[in-house]
Structures are given as C-alpha cells and as structure tokens.
Chain A
Amino acid sequence: MKIFSLILPLAIRNLFRNKRRSFITILAISIGVGSAVLLSSIARGLSKGLAEDAVKTLLGHAQIHSPLYLKDPVAERSFEDLSEQMRDLQNKNIISKWTSRVRVPGVILSERETFGINIVGINPKEEHGLSFIENAIVEGKFFTDIEDSGIIVGKKLLQRLKTQLGKRVVLVTQDYNNKIVDRGFKIVGIFDSGLESTENSYVFIGRKVAQNLLSLNNKISEISFFLPDDYQEDDQIATGVNTVNSYFPDHEVKAWWEIEPLAVALRQVQDGFLIVWFFVVIVSVSFGVINTQLMSVFERAREFGVMMALGTSPRLLLYIVSSEALFLLLIGMFFGNLIGVFGLYSLSSGIDLSGFAAASEHLGFSKLVLPRFVLRDWILCDGILIVLGFIGALYPAWKASRYEPVVAISGREK
C-alpha cells in the first residue's frame, strides 16, 4: 500500500522540513479551533443557563393549563385542582414534584405609580425546590401558607412603584365572573431574581387569597411540574411531557419551550451564530493552510519535477501534497481541541458576569455562566475544519500535479 509506506512518511517528513512554517500554521489552526470550540461551549453554557433560569423561574419542565389559557390567561380559564391525579403521577415516578398556582394579569398601584403585572397565587410549601421565589427573598419574609395576606414584589418593581417594604399596594384584576375586583396588600417580602423582566412582571400572593379574590373556589390556573432527574435533555423532557399529556386529555400539557418561545428563538439564533462563527474561523484558518501549502509547492517545484521524471503519476503527487495538508489540519485540530479542553477545565467554576450585571439582567442571562461541553458542536467544528481545509488544500496539490517536469526541473515553474 503506497498510502502507508510512501505517501504518509513523505508527508510527515515534509512537514518537519520547514519546522517554523509548519509550527506557525499548526498554531494558527489550533488557536482558531480552540477559540471556536471554547466559545461554542460558553455559548452553550449561556443557553443552558437561560433554559435553567426559565425552568426555575416559574415554568418547571412543563405546565398543565386549561385549553386556550395560554392565549388568554384570565381567571375565567381556570380549572379544578388536579392534586389527586398529580400525586398519583408522583407515586408512579412519572413526575418528581409539582405545584398548583393561580395566575392572572392585573394592575398594581402604589401611592405614586401604576403598572401592569402578573398576579401569581402560590402555595409556599410546594414552591420549595420548584421555583426561584423562596430563595430570592432579599428583604422581608416568604409566605408561611396559602392564606398569607401579604404580597411579595420584585426589587425593580418596588423601585418603579416608589414604595417600600411594609407599605401597602393595591391589586386590580378581573375575577372568574369577569367582574373587576381589587384588594389592598401589605408588602411583606422583596425578591431579587437577577432578571429584570421577572422582577418587573410578577407579584406573589397566597394561593387561597388569590382564589378568594378571583372567586375561584378551588380552581387554579396552572400546574407546574418537574420530571424525574433522568429527564434533563430536551428530547427526554419531550418524552416525559407526552406521557403526562396522555393522563390529561382535557387539558393542555406543554413543555417549557412551548410556553416560552423567546428562549427557544434565542437558542436557535445561537445555533445559527455558532455555525457562522465556525465557518468564519475555519475559512480564515483554511486560507492559512492554502498559503502554506502553496509556498511549499512553489519551493519544491524542482523536486516535484524530478519525482514526475522518475515516474510519479500526477495523481500520486496530488495525494502526497494533499496528505501533507491533511496532517497539518489533523495536528492543528488535535491541539485546538486540547486548547478547548484546557479552556473548559480552567473555566469549570464558571465565568462571573456580575461585572456586566445590568446587561445580563436585561438580556435574561445568569450572572454565572458555566461553559458546557456539547460533543456535537465540537464534531461539527472539527468536521468543518477538515472538509473546508482539505478542499482548500486541494488547490496547491492540484497545482503541483499539473507541473510539466521539464519546466519544473529547470526551475522555471511559477
């Protein structure tokens, strides 16, 4: 086999012929690949953080609603509590935890300001480990039961309302019978979610208090639930959601990404951005390889002429030169991935974005980003490198194979 006994040894030795040039080219490929895969991991970490934040904010892995609630989330679309069925699913290990909530749009008024918000009636005992709210209280207290008469508001909303802990605010909304209702609440807690939109959008009251205010009796607006721990990836969650869905044919069971399409759109944009980024980096790197190989081919024109005179076919010459490029790419790819692995390892405790707190809060990103290794991205990046780099490197190889021996040996080849 000429490949192993002739082409590969020649290709490897030719790479070591101009060590500095090969080193610089390999370094360029390594840095390109390393930065691409590391950035992809950081982007995936941001994306994962976004998803986790979305899930932990209030969504859970999925939610159960009355049909049409998501299009028009009013008290009228409430449904009878499904606690018994949910406990049954929990016992069967189909879900791990769940909570029932009342959630309607409304208006909050302070002495000075008025804003539109979402009123969320919660059971404080069930929210533990299911949403962010219990751990986000920075001032005041969390509710003790569903009949707690206070209200918990976000830090940002508190500032906008120009009020403070202990003061009273009024909630205005429509009840189950479409009548306007209102009630005064004392601010008993302030939460800091780290996300401006969440702090501005939600106020929390006791679930029973909400049901009374909205004349719902025991009706609720939504059930948020988590699947067992082995359901983490999107496709696994989708499977779990389908299973739950089969138990509630009269309700809508939707995964978190169906309820929060903006997060999904952001992830799709990110996917597209990553591929574009890979292409930009890899095309730049490929030009480096093409340049190196062209220089190498021009310098060795006489040698190629001699090899052809000795009987080397143009095709074999093409193989020899293109395999040199392939080696450059493979070595660069190896070290690039190594840079990526070291980068991931050194950032394994996370990237602290608290210096950009305002921006991250506004964009909905966590303040701590944990880079996430996604094998598919790395394979994609490596694949693009090898394919584009190799296609690019075929040009110098083709050029070498087209040399006229007599011209090449005389040193007149250009």
Chain B
Amino acid sequence: MNVVKCENVSKVFYQASETIYALREVSLSIDSSEFVCLSGPSGSGKSTLLNMIGSLDKPTEGNIWLAGHKLNNLNKSEISNLRLNEIGFVFQAYNLIPVLSARENVEFVMHLQGINTLERTKRAMNILSQVGLAGLENRRPAELSGGQQQRVAVARAIVSRPKLVLADEPTANLDSVTAQSLVALMRHMNEQEGITFIFSTHDPVVMSSAKRIIKLKDGEIVSA
C-alpha cells in the first residue's frame, strides 16, 4: 500500500526574471514500511521534495497523496491535523523546543493529540529509553549534545506512531559514529514499528543503510 504517491510534481521559484525549477515532474510511490533514502548533491531538490511530501510546502504543479489524502485538496486545518497524526519530522538542526525538557519535547505531539498525561509520560519515557536517553529526560536541549538532541528529535517523530517519518539530512550535524548510531536507531524503529522512513543525505555511509535509494539531480529523479 502506498504511503506516499507523487504525480508529476514540479516546484518552480522565480527570482527576478529567472525561473528556477527546484523539482521537475517528479513521480514516485513509496510503500508502507519502506526505509528510503533521497540522495543527491546540494540543490538537487531533496529538501524541497521532503517538504512537499510533508505538506510543509505546496507544489507548483502535480499531485501528492499522503496516507490516502490528496494534499492539494486539504485546507490549513486539515493539513495541520494530517501532519499531527500521520507524519513525524526530524530536521537537520534538531529543532527542539528550547524551553521544554527532553521528555516534554517528546510529549509535545501527544499533547496536541490530546493524549492524557499518564499515557503521555509512559510513552515518552519508554521511547526515550529506547533511543538510549534514559536518565536524561529532564534535561533541556541546551544541556544535551548534538547526537542526544537528534535522538530526542527522532523520539519525538516516532512517539505518536505516525505512518511516515521525514528526516531532512538528520546526520548532517553529527560526527560519523553518532550518525551511524542514529541511522541504526531509525532502521530499528522501521523494522520494529513498521514506520515508513524517508530521509535525505549525501553521506555515502548513511546512504548504504537504506533499503531503497532515490537519486535526484537538478530536480529530477535519475534513479529510483
């Protein structure tokens, strides 16, 4: 079953009199439980494609279906709900909420979903333990290392059991050991929980752990 389906998706930016194609007629399908890597050089359109799939941005042309929903047809509120319940995000710069502790960051999405305190805390503690952060639950992001922060971000992305996790260069700011450990964690979650992962990278070591690699160049898929 397709979790993601893109049909002739293009994204065009206009700068002065110049027209820039960030994506050019991209079509792809990603099935449930896949562990997909988007690879390609800088400017190839990896982040743009992830943003489109994650409904953070709208395509100039083409259609995207996510978990059966056609994104073009949804209003802002429906898109918020879709992101809340179906998608988890991991960003390159961790992007944790600085005033919340590790546990509270993980709980944040569940909070929005209206899950009760007891269940929230139980699930957050459990997932933090799974990502190797037991004992660090009450630390704020500033008190954690980059690798630890990214683990919190992964925990936050998967704790609400989304259908899809989108990770935009999640290892870019990490050293190679931490990067491999993070990818191993994501792979583990993919196999254990059946969550679909799509992540972008241009690190060949990280790329090698993917089950499927989609290569992009100049906004076009060159191999899938």
In A287-336, the 8 Å CB interface with B consists of: 302-303, 306-314, 316
Other-chain contact of A406, B57, B76, B98, B100 (Cβ < 8 Å): B57
Interface check A71, CB cutoff 8 A: no
Main secondary structure of the interface of A (DSSP, over half): helix
How long is the Cα–Cα vector from A404 to B112 in the complex, in angstroms? 19
Contact with A along B43-76 (1 / 0, CB 8 A): 0000000010010110000000000000000001
List the A side residues contacting B117 at CB < 8 Å.
5
From A17, A307, A314, A406, residue with most partner B Cβ within 10 Å: A406
Starting from the known contacts A302-B95, A310-B109, A406-B51, 12 additional A-B residue pairs (CB-CB under 8 Å) come to A2-B112, A6-B111, A10-B100, A303-B95, A306-B91, A306-B97, A309-B56, A309-B89, A310-B108, A404-B57, A406-B57, A409-B95
How many Å from the CB of A321 to the closest CB on chain B? Answer: 13
Interface check A389, CB cutoff 8 A: no
When the two chains form their complex, are residues A311 and B109 in contact, meaning their CB atoms are under 8 A apart?
Answer: yes
When the two chains form their complex, are residues A313 and B99 in contact, meaning their CB atoms are under 8 A apart?
Answer: no
List the A side residues contacting B56 at CB < 8 Å.
309, 405-406, 409
Given A2-B111, A406-B57: A311 in contact with B80 (beta carbons within 8 A): yes
When the two chains form their complex, are residues B80 and A306 in contact, meaning their CB atoms are under 8 A apart?
Answer: no
List the B side residues contacting A302 at CB < 8 Å.
95
How many Å from the CB of B108 to the closest CB on chain A? Answer: 7
Given A310-B109, A310-B156, A409-B91: A17 in contact with B80 (beta carbons within 8 A): no
Interface check A13, CB cutoff 8 A: yes
Residues of B within 8 A of A (CB): 51, 54, 56-57, 76-77, 80-81, 83-85, 89, 91, 95, 97-100, 108-109, 111-114, 117, 156
How many Å from the CB of B19 to the closest CB on chain A? Answer: 19
How many Å from the CB of B67 to the closest CB on chain A? Answer: 14
How long is the Cα–Cα vector from A309 to B164 in the complex, in angstroms? 13
When the two chains form their complex, are residues B112 and A310 in contact, meaning their CB atoms are under 8 A apart?
Answer: yes
List the B side residues contacting A308 at CB < 8 Å.
80, 83
When the two chains form their complex, are residues B83 and A309 in contact, meaning their CB atoms are under 8 A apart?
Answer: yes
Chain A residues bordering chain B, tally (CB within 8 A): 24
A-B contact pairs, 19 of them (CB 8 A): A5-B111, A6-B112, A16-B99, A302-B95, A303-B98, A306-B97, A307-B97, A307-B108, A308-B80, A309-B54, A309-B89, A310-B108, A310-B109, A310-B112, A310-B156, A311-B80, A314-B80, A404-B57, A409-B95
